[in-house]
Amino acid sequence: MGFKLAIDGPAASGKSTISAKLAKKLGWNHIDTGSMYRAVTLVALEKGINLEDESSYSFVKDLDIKYEKEKIFVNGKDVTKAIREPIVNENVSLVSSFPSVRKELVALQQKAAQHGDVIVDGRDIGTVVMPNADLKIFLIASVDERTKRRYLDFINAGKEVDLSKVKTDLEIRDQKDSTRKESPLIKASDAILLDTTDMSIEETIKSIIKLINNKRGEWLWT
């Protein structure tokens, strides 16, 4: 069965970056569920459908979403960069709020996480996707720190954005994610809260490895 690690947290809390680097360090599988919802959002935008009409998302069940070497492909097309575009950021919360979309993707996520040691990150992993995970971590960081991280992501990708708008968008996303009816962003009752505001990526990874070792009862990595 393997060890199952669930990592949840709000936008720009570092969960995807941390999960990817941690998985690489440990040689574990990694499932970035947020990228899956972004991929669906990208396809919906490309199709030009009415994003507010849940019945328009019937195409989701036919999508072939795969991860290969830290890249995500949809129907064989590399969309790793495209899913990080601002237009996707602005609409992914809406798309991910639809029960039918979540049902299809959660099923894919649960199937992918069945075998081997795996790290799954998202917003409802510890509560919905893997409620029986061996270890659950809820990453947080101050909104100012998360704004800085998201802003730098855009700048490093060569995109000009307004810092204040980045912060506003994050606050709106937080509100939508935490109040939606279907699988809202909440900390599982048995999840460990980890505030990364003043922590580097490496410091965060080391902290999580310690938690894994403590849970397993053996010191496998440092």
Instruction: Print the domain residue range for 197.
Output: 4-213
Q: How many structural domains compose the chain? A: 1
Give the per-residue pLDDT at 144: 98
Q: What is the CATH number of the domain that holds 205?
A: 3.40.50.300
* Res. 168: pLDDT tops 90: yes
Give the per-residue pLDDT at 69: 75
Looking up tokens 């971590």, which residue turns up?
137
Domain-located, residue 204 = yes
pLDDT tens digits, one per residue of 100-129: 999 999 999 999 999 899 999 999 999 999
Domain-located, residue 203 = yes
* Res. 188: pLDDT tops 60: yes
* Res. 221: pLDDT tops 60: no
What residues have CB less than 8 Å from 169, skipping those under 6 apart?
89, 90
Name the pairing type of β-strands 77-78 and 71-74: antiparallel
pLDDT tens digits, one per residue of 29-78: 999 999 999 999 999 999 999 999 999 999 999 999 998 878 899 999 99
Domain-located, residue 9 = yes
The answer to whether the CB of 78 falls within 8 A of the CB of 113 is: no
Q: Rounded distance, CA 186 to CA 179, Å?
A: 9
> Helix, strand, coil: what percent of the chain each, to 5?
50, 15, 35
Give the per-residue pLDDT at 222: 54
Domain-located, residue 152 = yes
Domain-located, residue 218 = no
Domain-located, residue 219 = no
